[in-house]
Chains A and B, each alone.
Chain A
Amino acid sequence: MRGSDRLAWPYLLGLAALVALPAVAAFGLAFTEYSGLTSPEFTGLDNFSRMIGESAFWRSLGNSVIYIAISVPLRLLAVVALTLLLHSHFRGSSTGRASAYLPTVIPDVAYSLLWLWLLNPLYGPLAGIFASLGLTSPSWLTEPTSARFAVAIMGVFQIGEGLVIALAARRVLPEHLFEAARVDGAGAWFTFKRITLPLLAPVLLLLTLRDVILALQLNFVPALLMTDGGPRQATTFLPLYVYRQAFRYFRLGYASAVSLTMFVVTGLAIYALYRMSKRWRLA
């Protein structure tokens, strides 16, 4: 082992003790009945068969899938748009970059409370804007569809990290290519479609995969604090469902089974995306 590798040991130990072991233990619990008060009892695949029969599980899985379907493309679109807008140097571009990053550093709880105010149908600023335009504001958090959208839209502003990665990727593209395209008579859209997008594709693919993983967890705090999973279970996403099963109903074994399922589903989603993107990666 080389000297530099030895430096990795503290990290690897921490990773094993704090991440790998609890994960293995939790996956082990998935095959037991465990309330936290008595010792776990091995029940084989009982938790999984119960899960399959439980409509609340399917509803929260569906909610999570819908959330991913809305949030991931919107976030990707926002990252690409802001990257194109902010990668070059102009007056106010660094302020623009800072403000685009800012929502990401706000703690999740504060961020959720802020949105609770923004979306408030009576005295929130969004309602005010709708009213001043003579429109009726959507009821946001009190209707299932608009509540799902509201929670997804909140996430669209927290793209700081992805933006930094995409900006860096855009900055390293040689400027000569874009000059060549200009002399070749390519317009802005043509250049974007044929040059910028394909060259950024590998990084955007990475961001998409990362976002799918992130999107499964991103909505826990808003769902807990803002909507409490409602209205009519519309924002009970998988993390909130697991949390409730574990810490409200003390079905820790069952919650572990759902977590394990979530893990596998994420893995499958990533694999499917990865296979679908073969064409992209050639760039």
Chain B
Amino acid sequence: MVVGPSGSGKSTLLRCVAGLEKLDSGRIKVGPKDVTDATPGERDVAMVFQDYALYPHLDVTTNISFPLLARKVDQAEIAEKVARAAQMLDIEDVLGRRPGELSGGERRRVSLARAVVREPAAFLMDEPLSSLDAGLRLRVLEEIRSLQRATGTTTLYVTHDQTEAMMLGTRVAVLRLGRLEQVGHPLDLYDRPVNTFVARFIGRTPMNLLPPKLLGLDRGAQVGVRAEHLRLVPGGGRLEAAVAAVDHLGADVLIESFAGDHQVLVLAPRDVAPSVGESISLDLRDDDLHLFDGEGTALR
């Protein structure tokens, strides 16, 4: 799982692995095999493109068969593999149609089937959910998850959406401006971000960063605390703030408040939502604090 804001180089990374982009330095290995100088076709990786990249003039069956046709696999084997991939992705009903006649979700499934049918050493997925509407996104995400489990194929998945990364990833790499900031289990990134960038990128809302003094601390240059770790208390909390805005998220509310000049985001249950302009008192546990130095690197 590769995650990062736009322009961080995650798609470029994926294209390098696919062989569509040349490396300036370094090597790429797929399994035990060094493929740095191999052509895209020789790398035994299948790519799922952000905009599907289905061949518009070919029907779904031919689209899925394409990688096998290109490799001159014999007809009987193609038919069998296509049938299996179509069944796996539940697109047997649309095999005779062309991509233009399919819904977004169906197109995504066809593009996944085209990757699966090759039984490659690795899947490369470039923002596979970004072209889908919100309702479909979760369903296709589940499908990708079960597909990955069923085939057991290593998947390199690029997204700008940290939620997808948290939900799908076994190992998540955070990229910024072409540099790897941190790599680890999703919860590692959430619990122990190595710097303020990762701290603010991973999580439902960006981590609040405050001067230590404000919380009565004397270590570090900045102290971070997540919105969901701040509790509203009737009074006597460690932080006093004024409410500037309250956004309803359904079960809970996102409160934007200010402690002096410093923005403090708070996630709180809906039934305790304060009103705008009110002063609130916030409490937190020491375990939920993250200390960073002047450069933004985490202090342990």
Contacts and interface: CB of A to CB of B under 8 A. Distances in A.
Contacts of B124: 183
Interface in B48-97: 49, 51, 53, 55-58, 66-67, 69-71
A283 B43 CA distance: 31
A141 B41 CA distance: 50
Nearest to B98: A282
B69 A176 contact: no
A176 B55 contact: no
A187 B69 CA distance: 11
B70 to A, nearest CB: 4
B40 A199 contact: no
Contact of A184 (B20, B56, B57, B67): B67
Contacts of A199: 56-57
A58 B237 CA distance: 105
Interface string A183-204: 1111100100011001100000
Interface in B28-56: 39-43, 45-47, 49, 51, 53, 55-56
B53 A186 contact: no
A199 B124 CA distance: 26
B128 interface: no
A182 B57 contact: no
A190 B70 CA distance: 7
B49 A179 contact: yes
Contacts, number: 68
B71 A185 contact: yes
Given A182-B41, A183-B40, A186-B41, A177 B55 contact: yes
A1 interface: no
B41 A185 contact: yes
A194 B69 contact: yes
Nearest to B21: A179
Contact of B40 (A174, A177, A182): A182
A202 to B, nearest CB: 10
A278 to B, nearest CB: 14
A180 interface: yes
B74 to A, nearest CB: 16
Given A176-B49, A186-B41, A181 B57 contact: no
Contacts of A185: 40-42, 67, 70-71
A214 B171 CA distance: 63
B121 to A, nearest CB: 13
Contacts of B66: 181, 184, 186, 194
B55 A195 contact: yes
A153 B53 CA distance: 40
A95 to B, nearest CB: 25
A232 B127 CA distance: 69
A198 B98 CA distance: 14
* Centre residue among B19, B41, B43, B45 by max chain A CB count within 10 A: B41
Contacts of A181: 55, 66, 70
B20 A187 contact: no
A283 to B, nearest CB: 4
Contact of B53 (A177, A187, A194, A282): A177
Given A199-B56, A199-B57, A183 B45 contact: yes
Given A190-B70, A194-B66, A183 B57 contact: no
27 contacts: A174-B53, A176-B53, A177-B55, A179-B18, A179-B20, A179-B53, A180-B53, A181-B55, A181-B66, A182-B40, A182-B41, A183-B19, A183-B20, A183-B124, A184-B41, A184-B70, A185-B40, A185-B42, A185-B67, A185-B70, A185-B71, A187-B41, A187-B70, A190-B69, A194-B66, A195-B55, A282-B57
Interface of B: 18-20, 39-43, 45-47, 49, 51, 53, 55-58, 66-67, 69-71, 114, 118, 124
Interface of A: 174, 176-177, 179-187, 190, 194-195, 198-199, 282-283
Instruction: Identify the 4 closest CB pairs spanning chains A and B, nearest first.
Output: A185-B41, A184-B67, A186-B70, A176-B53
Given A176-B49, A180-B55, 17 more contacts: A176-B51, A177-B56, A179-B18, A181-B70, A182-B20, A183-B19, A183-B43, A183-B46, A184-B41, A184-B67, A184-B118, A185-B40, A186-B66, A187-B41, A198-B58, A282-B57, A283-B57
